[in-house]
Structure 1
Amino acid sequence: MDQGSTRTARLDRLPYTRQHHKLLIGSGIGWALDAMDVGLISFVMAALAVEWHLGRSTLSLIASIGFVGMAIGASLGGLLADRYGRRQVFAMTLLVYGLATGAAALSWSVAALLVFRFVVGLGLGAELPVASTLVSEFAPTRIRGRMVVFLEAFWALGWILAALIGYFIIPSFASGWRWALAVGILPTLYALVVRFGLPESVRFLEAKGRDAEAEASVRAFETSPPVLRGVKVPRFQPTGSDDIEAATIWSRPLARRTAALWVVWFGINLSYYGAFTWLPTLLIEQGFTLPRSFGYTLLITVAQIPGYLAAAWLIEVWGRRVTLAVFLAGSALAAVTFGLVATGEGALVVWQVLAAGMALSFFNLGAWGALYAIGPELYPTRLRGTGTGAAAAFGRIASIIAPLLVPVLLGWGGQAYGFVVTFSVFGAAFLIAAAAAFLLPEQRGRLID
């Protein structure tokens, strides 16, 4: 069959249609609910430190256990998505972590909370690579990176929602953290929308021989009216796919990109979750009240949105690799700066803390957007879910280590230099990830098979 008549080529030629918009919004809401659940634990930790009188070591376990689940979930989610479909696994993950989060609100001890948070992590980790793969496989080539970055931008909305819940609910009620976790049951309801409202990947359907369903899905996108006609999208001639024949993600054609992608995932996870999971608690330890700490964290979190928007524009102008490296380098500078200024509560220091924290949010989350755009483009269809899921799973190892590492680094630095040491380590991790980004192939304008 001529390449111009294949279903994937027909999808690649389409403009941005209402069906694309429905897919992006539908997947994005699930993404935001994931972020809300991840973000809530940072505020719950700060509240438990006061209510249950927990020390740093116990709090670090509460943070890390969820990432243990996420590491396992990310790997399993990718494998299951390649076998059973992107949409099915997406819906299943929402059910898993939504029910577990609601159950966590009933926790009667630290041990019970740890068990529930582990199960939550299984669902959270499985969702992210599956959702990004689904969106990337429907996106037209020339705007594929931009669509995935916009999907990742929903993470900021979810984290802001978590900050709002933390700011308004947790300090307002006795055991307010329980009410905050109870809100986390919402994803179970949204699982029905994903299962019956979103399309299954055409590439997956073809790989499974379900050609009639694949054809119906493509025609639904072809007959959907275009939207955003006034938006200018960079135009370039697609250069074709890599046509890679590989049995595994570690076969010779893919080994270098897999190794580089894993390094980036490890570095960005270590720094992001080390910093933001502990942020409200660290601000409290610096003398800020619980509501004030949550308020400052909310302001810092809002800066994630312009970071995503900037990355979404630049990724189709500069390309994936340069955009990712620049935002990672900016994250490194912001992390070191934050460590230097976050040492007290004077008026000048507060402004410095907010400015450095917002810069860290801006660059860090822009880098996340670029990373999620790059991952699915690196692998052929039959390995795409596995490849993105395995990279995410390896990154989750860093997210497990990060909350445990923070108390150690703070101890090394002592009262005077704890923040400097901690955030300098995060800055170094960002720089290593930026260097690894240049080992990834540039996929802007290339067809994915």
Structure 2
Amino acid sequence: MSTILDEMNQAPMTALHRRLARSAGLGIFLDGYDIMIIGAVLLLLKPLWHLDAHAVGWLGSAALAGAFAGALIGGRIADRFGRKAIYLIDLITFFLAALLCASAWNITSLVVFRFLLGVGIGADYPLSATYMAEFMPTVKRGGVITWTFGLWTAGAIFAGLVGFTLVHLGPWAWRLMFLVGAAPALLVVWLRRSLPESPRWYLRRGQVEKATQVLQQLVPGLSDSQVSTILAAQVQTIHTPPVPVRVLFGRRFLRATLFVCLPWFVMDLVGYYVTIYIPQILGHLGFHGSSSKLLGSMILSASFLIGYIPLALLVDQIGRVWPQILGFIGGGVGLGIVGLTALESPTKAVIHGGTVEQVAMFSTAAIVIMFAGMLISQILNSFGPGNTTYLLASEVYPTDVRATGHGFATAFSRLGAVASTFFLPMVEQHIGTPVLMLWLAGGSILGGVLTWFLRVETTCQPLLQE
């Protein structure tokens, strides 16, 4: 006799599956927008508020630091009180914080409000990933989560379009950029208002009848006799005691925890710098004027689709591990091309602020080669760790600690993101963009090595329940 989990693992995609994916995906879209819009905002605020590298670092990393706290808190609450418990609260936090960002009056207030926005973003990561993983059929799970998480990039592209459109309106346009991110959050709250609780979570609480009711919503074609048979089989299932949080760091799951944490940390350390600060990086690589920098940023963000679409189509066939390895190593090669080309370009001495500085003189060919290297890095990152790290963290743990585990991995990765956005702008000032690109290239290749040695393949495997 089949159980509720058997039916869920083998179920066809239904309207409820698609609604779940849309509600999660639109939240992720907003994550991408609000994380990335800060790059365009800084183009206006940096001269307006006379921001130095430290202030830029604070603004760039504030939301990511908030995401660290939100992921830890949100994941634990979701495991203890249910996935629905804060699935609306995190978006409401998101909405209110975006409004506050638009009303900020100085650097301190904006950093605080960006931190609060990050709390909402961080809580949504483990919630959306766990929610989708626990509802989706086994053979479709990887593809659906990848398609959905790809909306982060759509949000990032939209942020570039908004920045490109509004940046010419005047120095006050940065407030509009934040308001644009607030409006769609209300739509996501409406979509999520009546979503059901996860049957897997109900089952671990012994609430079999509630789990069966959700199954009937998920697979509406089940007859009364089939439901009765499934219910009888489920009641006979032997349940083990709840899994404690410390299991994440015990013998059974330590390898999995290292596997989902360390490569994701590396991905964020490398990826967030070359994503959030794309306009500034392009300025250091020969692009001049806000329009050309924002246009280049949009092209690089859109190139993510070239790697993301094949991965979403193939991830349930080729697995998660090999794309992640290829993405890390290929991305490192792309960044290496940027760094080496920049180092080989001639320089000239200029006087800036009373001191003599060596400024690179990039030829058109050098600029094209460096931009191509950035494209390679973006495309291969999207085919691998830019998506697989999020997916894998939702698949390696049992139901009792799935959201907590994903939240911990998200929080750990955000340490890399905070280091990337806060410290690397200051590091770049001392060592220069070319050398920093080479450092990041080495870090990306290290991510591929870590993935290989720690690998845990989850493709087409049922989720662990206990």
TM-score with structure 1 length normalisation? 0.89
Distance 2:10 2:287 in 1: 56
- Name the residue aligned to 1:377: 395
Over 3 Å counting, the alpha-carbon distance change for 1:171 and 1:357 in structure 2 is: farther
Residues 70-126 of structure 1 deviation map (CA, whole Å, 9 limit, x = unaligned): 111111111011122223322211111221111111111111111111111111111
The share of aligned pairs that are identical, in percent, is 26
Alignment of 1:365 with 2:382, yes or no, is: yes
Aligned-pair RMSD on alpha carbons? 2.1
Q: Deviations over 1:349-403 (max 9, x none)?
A: 4433432222222122332211222111110000100111001101111111111
- In structure 2, distance between residues paired with 1:65 and 1:424: 26
Aligned residues: 425
Q: Quick one: structure 1 residues 347 and 100, their matched pair in 2 at CA, closer, same or farther if it must change by over 3 Å?
A: same
Instruction: Give the Å deviation of 1:308.
Output: 1.3
Q: Does 1:258 align with 2:276?
A: no
1:441 to 2:441 alignment = no
Q: How does 1:177-216 map to 2 (within 5 A)?
A: 177-216=174-213
Q: CA deviation at 1:259?
A: 1.6
Q: Tell whether the 8 Å contact from 1:92 to 1:191 is kept in structure 2 after alignment.
A: no
- Say which of 22, 39, 59 aligns to 1:25: 22
Runs (4+) of structure 1 exceeding 6 A deviation are none
Match of 2:408 among 368, 381, 390: 390
Q: What secondary structure sits across from 1:15 in the alignment? A: coil
1:145 corresponds to 2:136: no
Cα separation, 2, equivalents of 1:252 and 1:246 = 13
1:211 positional shift = 3.0
Q: What residue identity is the alignment partner of 1:128? A: Y
Alignment of 1:56 with 2:66, yes or no, is: no
Matched, 1:354 2:353: no
Q: Measured at CA, do residues 224 and 178 of structure 1 come closer, stay the same or move farther in structure 2, by a change above 3 Å?
A: farther
CA displacement at 1:262 relative to structure 2: 1.2
Q: Pick the structure with greater CA Rg.
A: 2
Amino acid across the alignment from 1:436: L
Deviates more, 1:377-386 or 1:75-84: 75-84
How far apart are 1:31 and its partner, in Å?
Answer: 0.9
CA 1:244 to 1:293, structure 2 compared with 1: closer, same or farther past 3 Å?
Answer: farther
What is the CA deviation profile of residues 196-222 of structure 1, one whole-angstrom value per residue up to 9, with x for unaligned ones? 243321111222343333212211221
Give the letter aligned to residue 258 of structure 1: T
| 2:441 paired residue number | 427
Shift of 1:287: 5.0
Residue 307 of structure 1: aligned partner: 307
Amino acid at match of 1:330: G
Amino acid at match of 2:307: G
Q: Unaligned 5+ residue runs, structure 2?
A: 223-239, 343-359
1:112-127 equivalences in 2 (<5 Å): 112-127=109-124
1-structure distance, mates of 2:242, 2:324:
27
**Structure 2 counterpart of 1:296:** 296
Which residue of structure 2 lines up, in the alignment, with residue 176 of structure 1?
Answer: 173
Contact 1:244 1:253 in 2 (8 A): no
- Partners of 2:341 and 2:194 in 1: CA distance: 47
1:404 match: 422
The letter for the 1-side match of 2:306 is P
| Structure 1: 5+ residue stretches without partners | 226-242
Alignment of 1:204-283 (within 5 A): 204-223=201-220, 247=244, 248-283=247-282
Superposed CA offset, 1:246-280 (max 9, x none): 53211211011112221111100101112111111
For the Cα contact (< 8 Å) 1:244–1:380, is it kept in 2? no
